[in-house]
């Protein structure tokens, strides 16, 4: 009888332990029960107009999924970003979203993330093969070459209409060693070359994606009154900074096409008021909310929704004064 009771008690204890363990595992992905919120870390290089919109979109999606999202800036320091990811892994965060400080640091990020799902957004790792190294990794963004190509095609059409095959173009990139920026600028130059133009490029400086820095640096350059036929900038903030500098230096903006990338709210306002002539839109919701949605998808045991090679591409859309009201009617 005593042995029988011991067996019954042992079986009961096993059932209780197993039941508790299953509840914990189930609760990690069951958002209808009371449990600590799933935590997601998001690391960005620094704050900026477009990245702030991406973060806002990610936060909104996290709230909708009832998960906790911690957003940290790495102050453009890859070592700091890597430490953030390592800390999140140690603190048992469920997943991470990463906008790389250094495009070559993708493998470093994955090594420190451990088993956590990782969604790279906005800046594609330069070592593309790492995206296929794990089942729970994806990149979400636009084809940066398309953004630059569209800029170059716009400028080509303009200068051909002006019978100017040798325009003098000021070039403003993001960080000097940034993969995304160089792809955009190189693609724009290639498009103009393919159109038969032979531009003379001047300034060719890094604006660090920042409006104020670009405005200050470009204004100093303009004091010698160089000929400026156009400005090619790797994002809207720098395009606006360049426009402000030109206006302060006494140049007539109406005869100088200025092109940017992102079609941020401020960029769209600048298109409308004539400070810049062209930009290309990349939807921050595709990257922000899209990243959170992909994480929830992977945490649910599904494979990432990728177009190919663990990449989810999103289209760039040209924006000019002619189509801006149609594309963004709610701005008015």
Per-residue pLDDT tens for 146-202?
999 999 999 999 999 999 999 999 999 998 778 889 999 999 999 999 999 999 999
What's residue 10's pLDDT? Answer: 40
Q: What is the mean pLDDT of residues 292-302?
A: 96
pTM score, two decimals? 0.85
Judged by DSSP in three states, 321 sits in coil
In tens, the pLDDT along 102-161 reads: 999 999 999 999 999 999 999 999 988 999 888 899 999 999 999 999 999 999 999 999
For 320, counting Cβ atoms within 10 Å of its Cβ (0-12 exposed, 13-18 middle, 19+ buried), the class is middle
In tens, the pLDDT along 46-102 reads: 999 999 999 999 999 999 999 999 999 999 999 999 999 999 999 999 999 999 999
How far apart are alpha carbons 160 and 153 in whole angstroms? 10
Q: Which domains does the chain have, with CATH numbers?
A: 39-141+283-314 (3.40.50.2300), 145-261 (3.40.50.2300)
What's residue 134's pLDDT? Answer: 86
Q: What is the mean pLDDT of residues 231-246?
A: 98
> Is 2's pLDDT higher than 50?
no
DSSP-derived pairing of the beta strands 200-206 and 168-173: parallel
% residues pLDDT > 70 (the chain): 89
Better pLDDT: 215 or 10: 215
Q: How confident is the model at residue 34 (pLDDT cuts 50, 70, 90)?
A: low
Q: Which residue, 236, 242, 195, is CA-closest to 214?
A: 242
Look at the block and give the residue holding tokens 């100093």: 220
What's residue 33's pLDDT? Answer: 52
What's residue 36's pLDDT? Answer: 77
Q: What angle do CA 304, 309, 311 make, to 5 degrees?
A: 60
Better pLDDT: 107 or 332: 107
> Is 21's pLDDT higher than 80?
no
20-29, 174-183, 259-268, range with the lowest pLDDT? 20-29
């Amino acid at each position: 009888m005593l042995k029988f009771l011991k067996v019954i008690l042992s079986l009961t204890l096993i059932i209780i332990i197993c039941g508790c363990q299953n509840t914990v595992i189930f609760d990690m992905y069951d958002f209808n029960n009371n449990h600590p919120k799933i935590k997601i870390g998001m690391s960005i290089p620094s704050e900026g107009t477009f990245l702030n919109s991406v973060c806002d979109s990610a936060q909104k999606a996290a709230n909708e999924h009832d998960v906790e999202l911690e957003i940290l800036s790495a102050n453009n320091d890859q070592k700091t970003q890597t430490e953030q990811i390592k800390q999140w892994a140690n603190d048992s965060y469920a997943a991470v979203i990463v906008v790389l400080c250094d495009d070559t640091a993708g493998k470093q990020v994955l090594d420190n993330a451990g088993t956590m799902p990782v969604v790279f957004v906005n800046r594609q790792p330069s070592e593309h093969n790492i995206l296929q190294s794990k089942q729970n990794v994806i990149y979400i963004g636009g084809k940066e070459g398309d953004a630059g190509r569209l800029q170059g095609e716009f400028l080509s059409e303009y200068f051909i209409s002006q019978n100017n095959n040798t325009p003098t173009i000021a070039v403003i990139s993001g960080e000097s060693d940034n993969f995304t920026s160089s792809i955009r600028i190189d693609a724009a130059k290639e498009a103009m070359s393919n159109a038969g133009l032979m531009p003379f490029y001047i300034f060719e400086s890094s604006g660090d994606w920042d409006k104020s820095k670009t405005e200050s640096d470009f204004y100093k350059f303009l004091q010698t009154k160089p000929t400026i036929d156009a400005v090619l900038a790797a994002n809207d903030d720098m395009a606006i900074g360049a426009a402000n500098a030109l206006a302060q230096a006494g140049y007539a903006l109406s005869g100088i096409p200025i092109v940017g990338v992102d079609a941020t709210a401020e960029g769209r306002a600048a298109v409308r008021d004539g400070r810049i002539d062209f930009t290309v839109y990349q939807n921050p919701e595709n990257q922000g909310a899209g990243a959170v949605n992909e994480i929830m998808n992977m945490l649910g045991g599904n494979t990432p929704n990728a177009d190919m090679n663990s990449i989810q591409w999103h289209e760039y859309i040209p924006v000019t004064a002619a189509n801006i009201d149609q594309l963004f009617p709610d701005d008015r």
